[in-house]
Chains A and B, each alone.
Chain A
Amino acid sequence: MGDLVRFDGATLGYGRRVVLSDLTFAISEGDFLGMVGPNGAGKTTILRAILRTLKPLHGTITHTPNIRFGYVPQRDQVDYNFPLTVVDVVLMGRYDRIGLGRRPGERDRDLACKALQHVGILDLADQSLNLLSGGQKQRTLIARALVGEPNVLVLDEPTSGMDLVSTTQILGLVRQLHERNNLTVLMVSHALNEVANYVERIALVMNGGFRIGPVDEIMTQPVLSAMYGIPVDVDSFNGHRIVVARREGTTDANV
């Protein structure tokens, strides 16, 4: 599998302010990567660099030719006051393909309907966007990302503010898209426990540090304790990995 995006000693920041330095990693074709870290750690900065909307201060970031991102923004980044239907929003994913000053055609509408079918909300195509639930809005934004026929799906905090059922359904849908369509997926989240049970690799971004690797390598007590800067315990329940911060006065369960 070839690399779709490669960071070589890249330093990222805004103006003179360095957010993260000397990043070296790659996102390969078929990857299912979760990028996890607290708010303000630099996840969005890395995301912008991956999406080519932020240039590195130093080092290089190489994108494979013809790479096409399907971007799913955070739900609250979209303005729900606009009087748009679900299919109107999905069609936006094809706007750059349609071309400047031209209107979506029949083929674009067919593709939008297929994308909606793919995410399970074709019946809501003509529904007003602002009448949808959180999970339905997220599916709409995922359909918009898919309709552009991307080779990398990028999701920014896809389950933020969602209940347990919606979170499970959205993460299940993303995993399905990765497995059935062999779509490369990058999912950004602050919720390690959610992401760790779905992705294949994890990139931890916290306290100015960055570490990336397979889930089994990252989801260990020494790595996570070092990255979070506090003692944590990693446990397993019904095949699900769970990370919890150790309470004061308790000791390492594995000791």
Chain B
Amino acid sequence: MFDAVVLFREALYGALVIGLACSVIGVYVVLRRIVFVGAALAELSSAGIALALWLEGQSLMLGLATHPIALALILTIGGALFFGAGGGRGRIPPDATVGVTYAVAGAAGILLISKAAVGEAHDIFLAGNILGITRADTLVLLAVAIPVLVIHAVFYKEFLFVSFDRETARTLGYNINIWNLLLYFTLGVVIAFAMQSAGVMLVFNFLVLPAVTGLLVSRSMGGVFLWSVVSALVASLIGFTLSVRFDLPTSPAIIAVSGVAVLVAFLIRLAQRR
């Protein structure tokens, strides 16, 4: 079993980097109640990849298909900035706008990939292809994750303040729009790159479940971040190993372990209350 894990070690490293980056940002995603923004951005990213592949089939934009990240980034960051700016505040409630984006982007991705000349299996978008991660992919993921994590470490108190009590932050001179956009921008960048390998389901998992585990276990922000990261990394490691050992699809195996972590955290919380 160990040999098999070593064989796929580059994929494991990639999963760990994605888990690390998503589980940090996921704390804000869960606390700010924007989990479906994360899902909608993941769908936008998959629509971007599908669009690149479809365009290649039409011989319209050769080259983009080999770098589908370009279109995925444009759509995801565009969506992130749109939601960060309030998601078209007006008659339509923001969560409905998120829902429209999720449904339309998800459907568009599937439609485009079904007609793409280099069409891959549709479920790649849902389940991802985590075992296909190469060393180069991991290095790219690291190059994205490190600056994002540094931004979140340096501006922790600013992100915390505008997320916790935006009106008071505004009275103290914080430009709420700028900080929101920066937070959503980092979210969009991480999702766009993670989606290339991990797929909608696993990215959504890393954005939500580890943070929920952290919130159930810890009563401080530092503790929540720590437990979120630890549970994401441990779930990746165990899920990956189990998928190799029992010949299971990797992403669902990691998600299943994340789910068990949430359940254990919930039981711990229950025990603490008694």
A interface residue numbers (CB < 8 A to B): 51-53, 69, 71, 73, 77-79, 81-85, 88-89, 92-93, 95-96, 98, 100-101, 103-104, 128, 144, 148, 154
Q: Which residues of A contact B164 (CB under 8 A)?
A: 78-79, 82, 84, 89, 92
CB contact under 8 A between A51 and B171, given known A83-B215, A92-B161, A103-B157: yes
Give Cα A81–Cα B216 distance, bound, in whole angstroms: 11
> Separation in Å of the B168 CB from the closest CB of chain A?
5
Cβ-closest chain A residue relative to B157? A95
Contact partner, A77, options B154, B165, B174, B224, Cβ 8 Å: B165
Give Cα A51–Cα B172 distance, bound, in whole angstroms: 9
Cβ-closest chain A residue relative to B32? A79
B264 within 8 A of A: no
Contact partner, B165, options A53, A92, A103, Cβ 8 Å: A92
Q: Which residues of B contact A84 (CB under 8 A)?
A: 164, 220-221
Give Cα A204–Cα B204 distance, bound, in whole angstroms: 50
Within 8 A of A (CB), among B169-195: 169-174
Contact assessment for A83 and B218 in the assembled complex, using a CB-CB cutoff below 8 Å:
yes
> Separation in Å of the A25 CB from the closest CB of chain B?
20
B95 within 8 A of A: no
Q: Which residues of B contact A82 (CB under 8 A)?
A: 31, 160, 163-164, 221
Contact assessment for B219 and A128 in the assembled complex, using a CB-CB cutoff below 8 Å:
yes
Give Cα A84–Cα B225 distance, bound, in whole angstroms: 13
For this complex, 13 residue pairs linking A to B, each with C-beta atoms less than 8 Å apart, are A53-B167, A71-B168, A79-B31, A79-B163, A81-B215, A83-B223, A85-B220, A92-B160, A95-B169, A95-B172, A101-B155, A103-B157, A144-B168
Give Cα A117–Cα B224 distance, bound, in whole angstroms: 28
Interface 1/0s, chain B 129-158, versus A by CB < 8 A?
000000000000000000000000011011
Give Cα A78–Cα B163 distance, bound, in whole angstroms: 9
Within 8 A of A (CB), among B222-241: 223-224
Contact assessment for B218 and A100 in the assembled complex, using a CB-CB cutoff below 8 Å:
no
Give Cα A148–Cα B171 distance, bound, in whole angstroms: 12
Give Cα A82–Cα B173 distance, bound, in whole angstroms: 22
Q: Which residues of A contact B155 (CB under 8 A)?
A: 100-101
Contact assessment for A96 and B173 in the assembled complex, using a CB-CB cutoff below 8 Å:
yes
